[in-house]
Amino acid sequence: MSLEPASRWHPLVRAALYLAVYVGIQIAAVLAISLPFFLLDDRWFQNSGFASSNEIFLLAIALSAPPTVAMTLLFVRVLDGRTPASLGVRWPAGGRRTALRQLVSVPLGTLAFVASWLVLLRALPSSLVAVRFGGMSPELASPRWWPFSPGLLLALLLLGFLLQGGLEEWAVRGYVYRALKDRWRPFAAALISAVLFALLHAANPEVSAVALLNIVLAGLVLAALVERSGSLWSAALAHGVWNFAVACLLSLPISGVRFFHLMDVSVGGDPRLTGGNFGPEASLVLTGLGLPLAGALWWQTLRADRLRREIRPSALEDGSKHESL
């Protein structure tokens, strides 16, 4: 009696197993960076503040990238029976020119979305929300553990967040979303992958139900970008730039975590509106922006998919008629 091919494992089983290994690799990367310093009782590591800094997690992401990529390729080959191209690591539809346009338009659109959230907060009554712009951050001087200019640190943090966003897109929209599409239609697969994406953040500091809802909406938006272009490119850009803009250009938490930042912005008031210590992702104002954005993107995506499916049979019928002639 032959065993069932591994590629026929239920997509939820494959996705859950993949995410468990993915999280395990990230935990191992953090331990690989910090544990030797603690075991050696390194004074610089502890006294400089690097041991307690959140930037160490971006360094761990960079360290986890090679084993994560290798693990993903193994899953794709062995469990899914697919090629690495199915992950969406390619130029978007339209090729390099489209990719270059998106290199400008996607970051600008993401920054505009962040700005829209701030504008809406400022439009609310001061009794509910208070937004204060304090100019350049008083913490702009380099941390004790960073011997170079703060500008260089910001540039490296941008690269770190782009890598972090790209790696999460590789995992969630590249592997998980594509695996779920083996069983479900694109929107259902996107919704399930977005819920799994939110669960990855469930242990973050100050997480709330609104935060998880907004992360689900973000997952739907990012999946729509992947579905529309056939590539992870625009989703990875949007993901990385959002995290960098909130955490490093402003001075707000990103998913409950703070980083070295350029501007001094404080948002006070009702945490249900502001997001509180979790950051904008826990804000009901962001929910009001995210719902129509996700709805519009998926309406356009599903409409385009429906038109393609309607055109394809007609094209096949025309081809058969020409052959018969």
| Range of weakest confidence among 34-48, 50-64, 209-223 | 34-48
How much of the chain, in percent, has pLDDT values that exceed 70?
88
Structure tokens at 5: 């091919």
**Residues 60, 63, 69, 70: is their CA dihedral positive or negative?**
negative
Mean pLDDT of 43-65: 76
pLDDT of residue 318: 55
SS (H, E, C) the chain: CCCCCHHHCCHHHHHHHHHHHHHHHHHHHHHHHHHHHHHCCCHHHHHCCHHHCCHHHHHHHHHHHHHHHHHHHHHHHHHHCCCHHHHCCCCCCCHHHHHHHHHHHHHHHHHHHHHHHHHHHHHCCCCCEEEEEEEECCCCCCCCCCCCCHHHHHHHHHHHHHHHHHHHHHHHHHHHHHHHCCCCCHHHHHHHHHHHHHHCCCCCCCCCHHHHHHHHHHHHHHHHHHHHHCCCHHHHHHHHHHHHHHHHHCCCCECCECCCCCEEEEEEECHHHHCHHHCHHHCHHHHHHHHHHHHHHHHHHHHHHHHHHHHHHHHHHHHHHHHHC
Whether the Cβ atoms of residue 86 and residue 178 lie closer than 8 Å to each other: yes
| Range of weakest confidence among 33-47, 69-83, 112-126, 234-248 | 33-47
pLDDT of residue 5: 43
Compute the distance between CA of residue 206 and CA of residue 227 in angstroms, rounded to an integer.
32
Whether the Cβ atoms of residue 282 and residue 271 lie closer than 8 Å to each other: yes
Compute the distance between CA of residue 281 and CA of residue 201 in angstroms, rounded to an integer.
11
Q: Exposed e or buried b for every residue in 71-108, given b needs 16+ CB within 10 A? A: bbeebbeebbebeeeebbbbbbeeeeebbeebeeebbe
pLDDT of residue 313: 58
Question: pLDDT tens, 85-109?
Answer: 899 999 998 899 999 999 999 999 9
Mean pLDDT of 152-166: 94
pLDDT band of residue 149 (cuts 50, 70, 90) is confident
If we measure between CA atoms, which residue out of 291, 178, 182, 192 comes closest to residue 230? 178
323 CB burial (10 A radius; 0-12, 13-18, 19+): exposed
pLDDT band of residue 264 (cuts 50, 70, 90) is confident
Structure tokens at 147: 């011997």
Compute the distance between CA of residue 115 and CA of residue 274 in angstroms, rounded to an integer.
14
Question: pLDDT tens, 198-227?
Answer: 999 998 999 999 999 999 999 999 999 999
Mean pLDDT of 176-201: 95
Structure tokens at 32: 């690989």
- Which is more confident, 152 or 50? 152
pLDDT band of residue 8 (cuts 50, 70, 90) is low
Compute the distance between CA of residue 268 and CA of residue 271 in angstroms, rounded to an integer.
8
| Range of weakest confidence among 21-25, 141-145, 162-166 | 141-145
196 CB burial (10 A radius; 0-12, 13-18, 19+): buried
Compute the distance between CA of residue 193 and CA of residue 323 in angstroms, rounded to an integer.
43
Compute the distance between CA of residue 186 and CA of residue 184 in angstroms, rounded to an integer.
6
**With a threshold of 0.85, does the pTM exceed it?**
yes
Question: pLDDT tens, 292-322?
Answer: 999 999 999 988 878 877 776 555 455 545 4
pLDDT band of residue 46 (cuts 50, 70, 90) is low
Half-sphere exposure of 70 (CA within 13 A, CB side): 6
